[in-house]
Amino acid sequence: MSFVTRRALSTLIPPKVASPSAIGGAQDAARMQRVVSFYEKLPRGPAPEIKPKGLFGRYQARYFGKNPSAAPIAHVIGALLLFGYCNNYYFHLRHHKNNVH
């Protein structure tokens, strides 16, 4: 059973299922042994953090992750200003580079 499957299944079955009093059968029952062996195979401790991949994933983890900031708003404003200037240059300013209007 893979690590991811075990981690996913551990959230589905609550830990109280593994107690003999909750099942109501004998302690040496085959069903109880299957439940105990299932829980023995599960990983212990917190799940490892997943590292972000790709440009957008790293950007999202940096600015929207544990310490969210307002920097993306400044980035959008800067990108719009740059786009506006490039647009203005292409359609108007490049024609007046060496000549007076």
Task: Report pLDDT for 50.
Answer: 87
Separation of alpha carbons 77 and 49, rounded Å: 32
Residue 15 gets which letter from DSSP? G
The answer on pLDDT for 21 being more than 80 is: no
Q: What does the pLDDT look like over 41-91, one tens digit per residue?
A: 988 888 888 899 999 999 999 999 888 999 999 999 999 999 999 999 888
Residue 30 banded pLDDT, cuts 50, 70, 90? confident
By C-alpha distance, which of 54, 13, 49 is closest to 34? 13
Residue 17 banded pLDDT, cuts 50, 70, 90? low
